[in-house]
Amino acid sequence: MVAKDYNKTKGSAKAEVGEIDTSAPFQSVKDAVSLFGEGAFSGEKPAIRKAKPQSAEKLKSINESKDSAIRATEAAKHQTKQFAEANNANSTGSDGSANVDRETARAEYAAAVSELDAAKQELRKIRQEYDASIEAKVSATKQAAESEKATKANIEKVGELSKEIVGVQDSIQQVKLANAHTKEEEAMICADKDKQKLSYKTRLEELAQKLLALKKDIDPELVKNLETQLGGTLSEIEALRNEMEKTRAADLDSVKTVASELDSAKESLHKEAETESIAGDLHVKLRKAKSELEEALVGEAKARGASDEMVATIHQLVLESQNAKHEAEEVKQQAEELKREAEATKIELEAAEKKLKVAISEAEEAKAAEARALDQIKMLSEKTDAARASTSEPGAQITISKDEFESLSRKVEESEKLAEMKVAAAMAQVEAVKASENEALKRLEATQKEIEDMKAATQEALKKAEMSEAAKKAVEGELRRWREREQKKAVEAASRILSDSGKSFESSPRNYQIQRQKPQQTETSFESSPHNYQIPKQIPQETKVMETRKLEKAKTSSQESTNA
């Protein structure tokens, strides 16, 4: 690009040593814009947007433009070295070539300024990407807070379920106690009935024996009396049989009710066993939920550690970007100072050129005066030679006045001194111009070095930004997968818990009540357990008391009849 004409002159056989490339680095502003990108000359702040898949290609094109700019700066450096060599070889070069070199130096300086603008634009892009990463970090913290809330809610649900399980276990124990109590009461009732049957049998046997004894001791009057007594006794026996049948029917009814109660108690026990198995399953599920919760907490801790690391890296990137920004501002200030110094150097160069022109003209005038003095001396010598030739006298001499000789010698010395002084002044001015040019070259080299440092820092910041973007994407993907897993587990656990709790609610002893039919001539009272489980309590029957009283009356009447 810039070194195109230089390469042509270098390859040409007719090229001279002091020839300098006078071509402009860019043909137009459009070429410069197409080289460094429209972003380098745009004053608008680009909107924040996410990294696209074409960012790698853009970065590649930016790197290519940077490489071309580096090649252009190297060509400009080579041209400045050529310019220095040409100045050393031919200090009295033409003014036109010096002006052309200054123009090329200006163009190269403008290119360097455009490169600085491009670097500033790239730093802006890095800042925008950093802002986007901070927004992503804020969203990640919000999601972590939501996951913490969800875990707290799950912990509360687990606590409630554990309380319900404890209540179910208490109710199961109470049902077992009630069942044992009912079995004991049933055993007592059966024992009482057996005793009553035995007493009835013994009473009937005694009556039969008495009847046989009475038949043996037959007495007509006694027979009549006994018949009357027998009729009364038979009527009483019939009444007793009726009462016994009634009591037996009542006992059968009570036995049936007790059996139904036992069946219902067995069913309740089966249901309680099912509830116990459900409770065991719930315990297993709770353990699984606890283990899953612990795993979730571990994953959350890992995610927090990763987010903390990401925050630390982001802070580090913030500091590095701020340092790069400060360095860019310092480089900008230095570039402005160099620009001002270059302008001052330009003014000094123009003044030195003017002085050089004046010194050259004065040196030319001194040379002309010296030539005139030499011509006068030559003319005087010719006159003396002619005078010598014209004189025929031997030993004749040309005489001039002392004043003329002193004036001529003074003029010669003054002209020589003046010429030497003007030449020395011109050489001093030339040296000063060379020194200022060397200083400008050194400053230009320092500026180029700073530009290269800025490019290296920009590339490093871009690499770090890409690494932070990749780390952020990895953390976001891991958090998203973890949230999906946790949501899936929470939904499955909630569905299982709801289904199990519905089944346990239907078969729970809290809502189960044993209803007992009220037998004839019997009364039952119920005592409520703490969990609304009703336990039947048997009240002594009046029929039993009546039967015992009738038996006692029959026994006393039979004893009176035997005594009579």
pTM of the model: 0.26
Confidence of residue 158 (pLDDT cuts 50, 70, 90): confident
Q: What percent of the chain has pLDDT over 90?
A: 0
What's the average model confidence in pLDDT over 105-125? Answer: 80
Q: Give kind and range of the element (H or E) at residue 396.
A: none
* 131-140 tens-digit pLDDT: 887 888 888 8
Eight-state DSSP code of residue 509: T
* 425-435 tens-digit pLDDT: 777 777 777 78
* 52-90 tens-digit pLDDT: 445 556 566 666 766 776 776 677 667 667 766 666 655
Tell me the backbone φ, ψ of residue 45, rounded to 5 degrees: -85, 120
Confidence of residue 47 (pLDDT cuts 50, 70, 90): very low
Tell me how far CA of residue 334 lies from CA of 73, 328, 387, 448, in angstroms: 18, 10, 75, 12
CA distance 560 to 564: 6
Looking at residue 177, what is its pLDDT?
86
Q: Which amino acid is at 179?
A: N
Say yes or no to pLDDT of 361 above 50.
Answer: yes
* 539-563 tens-digit pLDDT: 344 555 555 565 566 656 655 555 5
Eight-state DSSP code of residue 41: G
Looking at residue 371, what is its pLDDT?
75
Please provide the distance, in angstroms rounded to a whole number, between the alpha carbons at the two ends of the chain.
Answer: 159
What's the average model confidence in pLDDT over 405-416? Answer: 76
Q: What are 526's strand-pairing partners?
A: 536
- Map residue 538 onto helix, strand or coil: strand
Positive or negative, the CA dihedral 104, 110, 111, 116 is positive
Count other C-beta atoms under 10 Å from residue 245's C-beta: 10
Residues whose CB falls within 8 Å of the CB of residue 317, separated by 6 or more in sequence, listed in order: 130, 133, 461, 464, 465, 468
What's the average model confidence in pLDDT over 163-190? Answer: 83
Looking at residue 204, what is its pLDDT?
79
* 200-223 tens-digit pLDDT: 788 778 877 877 776 666 666 766
Tell me how far CA of residue 100 lies from CA of 69, 341, 342, 358, in angstroms: 21, 20, 16, 21
Tell me how far CA of residue 282 lies from CA of 176, 494, 509, 510, in angstroms: 21, 12, 17, 18
Please check whether residue 247 is in contact with residue 547, taking contact to mean a CB–CB distance below 8 angstroms.
yes
CA 220 to chain centre: 121
Q: Which two tokens stand for residue 298?
A: 């571990």
CA distance 134 to 129: 9
Burial class (CB in 10 A: 0-12, 13-18, 19+), 194: exposed
Most confident stretch, 161-165, 341-345, 475-479: 161-165
Nearest alpha-carbon partner for 123 in 444, 452, 460, 448: 460
Say yes or no to pLDDT of 130 above 80.
Answer: no
Confidence of residue 392 (pLDDT cuts 50, 70, 90): very low
Please check whether residue 436 is in contact with residue 84, taking contact to mean a CB–CB distance below 8 angstroms.
no
Q: Which two tokens stand for residue 187?
A: 């055993």
Please check whether residue 500 is in contact with residue 285, taking contact to mean a CB–CB distance below 8 angstroms.
yes
Confidence of residue 472 (pLDDT cuts 50, 70, 90): confident
Residues whose CB falls within 8 Å of the CB of residue 211, separated by 6 or more in sequence, listed in order: 230
Confidence of residue 449 (pLDDT cuts 50, 70, 90): confident
Q: Which amino acid is at 55?
A: S
Residue whose tokens read 């433009």? 65
Count other C-beta atoms under 10 Å from residue 266's C-beta: 11
What's the average model confidence in pLDDT over 476-498? Answer: 78
Residues whose CB falls within 8 Å of the CB of residue 468, separated by 6 or more in sequence, listed in order: 133, 310, 313, 314, 317
Looking at residue 44, what is its pLDDT?
40
The DSSP result for 212-225, as a single string, is: HHHHHS--HHHHHH
Query: Which tops the pLDDT comparison, 90 or 292?
Result: 292
Say yes or no to pLDDT of 355 above 70.
Answer: yes
Confidence of residue 527 (pLDDT cuts 50, 70, 90): very low
pLDDT-wise least confident of 22-26, 101-105, 370-374, 422-426: 22-26
Looking at residue 12, what is its pLDDT?
41
CA distance 530 to 534: 9
Looking at residue 522, what is its pLDDT?
39
What's the average model confidence in pLDDT over 373-402? Answer: 65
Q: Which two tokens stand for residue 324?
A: 């790069």
Looking at residue 215, what is its pLDDT?
66
CA distance 362 to 427: 13
Say yes or no to pLDDT of 484 above 70.
Answer: yes
CA distance 182 to 178: 6
Rg (alpha carbons) of the chain, rounded to whole number: 64
Looking at residue 115, what is its pLDDT?
78
What's the average model confidence in pLDDT over 220-230? Answer: 67
Tell me the backbone φ, ψ of residue 384, rounded to 5 degrees: -65, -40
Residues whose CB falls within 8 Å of the CB of residue 176, separated by 6 or more in sequence, listed in order: 269, 272
CA distance 21 to 86: 12
Looking at residue 223, what is its pLDDT?
61
CA distance 174 to 156: 27
